[in-house]
Structure 1
Amino acid sequence: MLVDKTILLVIGGGIAAFKSLDLIRRLRDEGARVVPVLTKAAEEFVTPLSVSALSAEKCYRDLFDLTDEAEMGHIELSRLADLVVVAPATADLLGKMANGLANDLASTLLMATDKRVLVAPAMNVKMWEHPATQRNVATLKSDGVLFVGPDEGPMACGEFGYGRMSEVPDIIAATSAALGDGPLKGKHILVTSGPTHEPIDPVRYIANRSSGAQGTAIAAALRDLGARVSFVTGPADVPPPQGVDVIAVQTAAEMKTAVDRALPADAAIFAAAVADWRVTSASGSKIKKTNGKLPEITFSENEDILAGVSALKKNRPALVVGFAAETDDVIAHATAKRARKGCDWIVANDVSPETGIMGGSENDVTLITAEGLENWPRMAKSEVARTLAARIAAALNG
């Protein structure tokens, strides 16, 4: 329920704006107060009168309305809400948000707000797939903006694909989750992510090709379902998500210490690509070349973080999930890893160079549990994260 919550609803211009009327009604049914803001383009699809009547609130439209500025300045309006929802979020609005443009009331409010923002994109499939839109979406996600949809299906223009605004019940659910009322409310979840760097000397280290994108997306998806997330990350290529407790580390040993300190947790997701070995005695100064003679480097095995947490007698999370990045016999190796490590689930994926998964934007995974295998279709890492987060929520609440 959204009782006593105030939602600032920004309605963008597009045929999906008609859904905003039902969204207002449903939000109010849940107990929320809805303060509507219409863009100029939105007025071509829904009228200020209908929006105001359904919301029982003044409909805000003009940045330069002196009466409104006297009664409630746009800065105050941007901060009165518990959450800002943009539905529909057009390509134009997403572009303004991502690039810091503020030339009308809606974009100015979105720039001035200090509250979380949830957007429900709606546009033609080609507009959604356009590189500029995808760049803007990536920027907004890294800024901590929450997304619901878009969905796949037929469009008013006659085309088919991703770009449909999510249905109202899905937006309501995402709104509840954004306000901390999701299915993981009250749960603490530990997520590890990224590579580790094991020093050879002050300027060289052993690493791997993990970008940290999948672990970062998982942390964000769990956060969006209401969880308190402890995010232990190695030196990743992507920035950590907003709204989580970030613990930055470099080495496997540092990651283990951070994991130990973050426990207890209701669940632990080990998405980090932790180095199996470290240099036994890293040099304190740069190792120099000496007449073609190769340096002698000895290695030691790093402590197994996943196996260690899985074997805990005290403070073991109710659900421990590992990852298996393999290049051959993926399912066989991942199944054996689940048994060897003692974890509850393993997320297996093929990271052979030809897949483009390691460091890429998509993933193709199989979830291995005690009940068997779940083969998920190849999809964006953000979608993998949301699917996994939903499975985790079901398991913890089952």
Structure 2
Amino acid sequence: MSGIGMAAAQDLARKVETFVREVVAPYEQDPRRDHHGAPTDALVHELREKARAAGVLTPHIMPDGGHLTQRETAVVLAASGLSPLGPLACNTAAPDEGNMYLLGKVGDAALRERFLKPMVEGHARSAFFMTEPAELQGAGSDPSMMITTCRKDGNHWVINGTKCFITGADGAQVGIVMARSEEADSAGGACMFLVDLPDPAIRIDHVPNTIDSSMPGGHATVTIENLRVPADQMLGQAGEGFKYAQIRLSPARLSHCMRWLGACQRANEIASDYANRRMAFGKPLIDHEGVGFMLAENLIDLKQAELMIDWCASVLDTGSLGTAESSMSKVAVSEALMRVADRCVQVMGGTGVTDKTIVEQVFREIRAFRIYDGPTEVHKWSLAKKIKRDWKQAHAH
């Protein structure tokens, strides 16, 4: 992964930051929202056209189709995250950013032209159909529990199953569907398929109200019934879906960290401004030790999160899957940013729990982030397994 160099990436990040602060942030009170507060596609389209005009649409992907390095991506995505609307405007938001990365890595030329190109150009949203309902004992943090199936039928594959928490499914034009193969030659492994959306065989049953509200289309529960997909729309090879999921998930976890770092930096700016302006008991809030210390702790947590992201990005840039490193970063960054967001609300008191600023939304989004792409406890469990495995290898003889 060659990238553009850190100096150029930092210049690009400053360009993105200027756009997000000056153009995107004023839209934060725009009323074009759906039933659970997420931006409508009309609002997203308007913002993307402004990003296109400003030259900051899909900034992490170069004109020749190459991807910035992970370290370069980190500074750009953090800048886009300075507003909850920033990643949508700049086309760096989940799940599209992770789906674009996966298609760029695994998709052949025909699939990239048909499905990836409109995503990179900002004309199409996408959804990643992996998670399944807990009541069905389906795949969640453990993808190997997948119960959605696919079977060959001539030159097509037929998919059946139920998926849930499918971010952006409502309104998406591109879907990546993951299913367990019933074919003997794929050894019961998972397969991934590219599909055009909407499709009558994929029925949205329910879009729940959730604590977060930054992602268009919400987190839908869907039923897939006899979905027929041409064989040439399989992503990669049959039975390799779990491997491809890891190719996507490790950098996608880190991308979440990048974007929400930017959001928490902005929330901390807002809280710090409030603490310096607001008077109480004869002096500004910042001069009260209980408040000043919270903001000091925010600076420490933000810097540690930034360093953790940079370290993990460096590992991924070596070509490693970085599974352990991304787990450590996901835990450390999500927990640190939760502390930052919570302190911002606390510093601002009653104002902090209103929608007068983005602080209360950032708090809600970060709480959900602790669950996205594997909750903290699953990553700790995975790391504990690695500790045990490494110990056994070290003491094998």
Shorter-chain TM-score category?
under 0.3
Greater share of residues in strand: 1
- RCO higher in 1 or 2 (8 Å CA, sep ≥ 6)? 2
Greater share of residues in helix: 2
User: Is the radius of gyration larger for structure 1 or structure 2?
Assistant: 1
